[in-house]
Amino acid sequence: MSFPHIIRSAIRSTSSKIALLARSTTTFTNRSFCSSSESEKNSTTPSEASYYHLSGGPSHMRAAVFWEPGKPLTFEDFHMPRPKANEVLIKTKACGVCHSDLHVIKGELPFASPCVVGHEITGEVVEHGQLSDSKIIERFPVGSQVVGAFIMPCGSCSFCSKGQDDLCEDFFAYNRAKGTLYDGETRLFLRNSGKPVYMYSMGGLAEYCVVPAHALAVLPNSLPYTESAILGCAVFTAYGAMAHAAEVRPGDAIAVIGIGGVGSSCLQIARAFGASEIIAVDVQDEKLQKAKFLGATHCVNASKVDAVKTIKDITGGNGVDIAVEALGRPQTFLQCVQSVRDGGKAVMIGLTLSGAKGEVDINHLV
């Protein structure tokens, strides 16, 4: 008799974003069209940024637009997006490329189109919407450096009121279902035709983006824009999974299946939380090599050995206290459950194709 709990990512977001098939979260800086740089970050003062806004700022911007699956993104000119109450206009400094974006681009996750994807951003506050709460303006003054979360909580629905921002009704009902913000409208309109373009989260692959203020956090001066972009998706998904779903404790044995952006963040957080055995599972030696630097004590190449058996061997035949599936495939879903000791936890983070099913070993679960 065994009692592993299957935890469907505490962060629904968690699931919705990860689709770690990508198994790599890369970040690029909008230097090409923003001409931003770290030196600029360090030299930009609130007063200069205020001037930037008061002077009117640019009236248009560019963004990368997804039209339909199988076709390349195109750069298009847009009217400058304008924030409404309690929304913030951000000058984008960096935006990660997550596999969730790729799922949309490949047509594997249905989403309104045309749209601007990109949901892991850092940037600088350049404008607040009219009638915004004064506390929001005080917290994120024009010129402040921020990082955005891909789940953008409305702050007032039943879930947000209970502190479960990750389940925000408005985010899923409007942004994920319709590609808009919470008045049912996008903030993106093509410059030449006025055609509305939808937003995957904030639509981060753009020179500027509008973000509901509840999705922002101040980015400390000590953290660089580029490397910090993944905080809003890959890292916070991993943190939610390890801190809230898995509740990792010192001494735990942990297996992480799929060493991409989220999986590699899980390794680092597991190490920070004091896990004893941290087993990285992937099918690419290159990723397993990197995993060692990120805290893995053991590496398992599942294309060469039986991953479940190897995990059992490493843990004296018991299985791990916590197994994390950060890939999103039926096979690894089952491996995750099978790798867990009696009473342990299987934490599912990986997103996959719409409608995909995962098998569960019932007797191991019950």
Q: Which residues bind Zn ion (CB under 5 A)?
A: 17, 98, 100, 153-154, 157, 160, 168, 170, 233
Instruction: Decide whether 152 or 188 has the Cβ nearer to Zn ion.
Output: 152
Q: Least distance (Å) from Zn ion to the CB of residue 62?
A: 22
Would you give the DSSP letter of residue 106?
H
For 217, the token pair is 């956090």
Q: Least distance (Å) from Zn ion to the CB of residue 328?
A: 12
DSSP states of 164-186: -GGG-HHIIIIIIHHSS-TTS--
Residue ranges with strand state E in 98-153 = 115-116, 121-128, 145-148
Instruction: Decide whether 226 or 310 has the Cβ nearer to Zn ion.
Output: 226
- Residue 138 phi/psi, 5-degree rounding, is -65, -35
Bin 313: left if φ > 0, else alpha if -120 < ψ < 50, else beta: alpha
Q: Least distance (Å) from Zn ion to the CB of residue 159?
A: 6
Comparing every residue's Cβ against Zn ion, the nearest one is 98
Instruction: Decide whether 211 or 320 has the Cβ nearer to Zn ion.
Output: 211
Q: Least distance (Å) from Zn ion to the CB of residue 17?
A: 4
3-state SS assignment for residue 1: coil
Q: Least distance (Å) from Zn ion to the CB of residue 97?
A: 9
State how far Cα 227 lies from the chain centre: 14
For 270, the token pair is 């597991």
Instruction: Decide whether 160 or 267 has the Cβ nearer to Zn ion.
Output: 160
- Rounded to whole angstroms, the Cα distance separating 214 from 140 reads 11
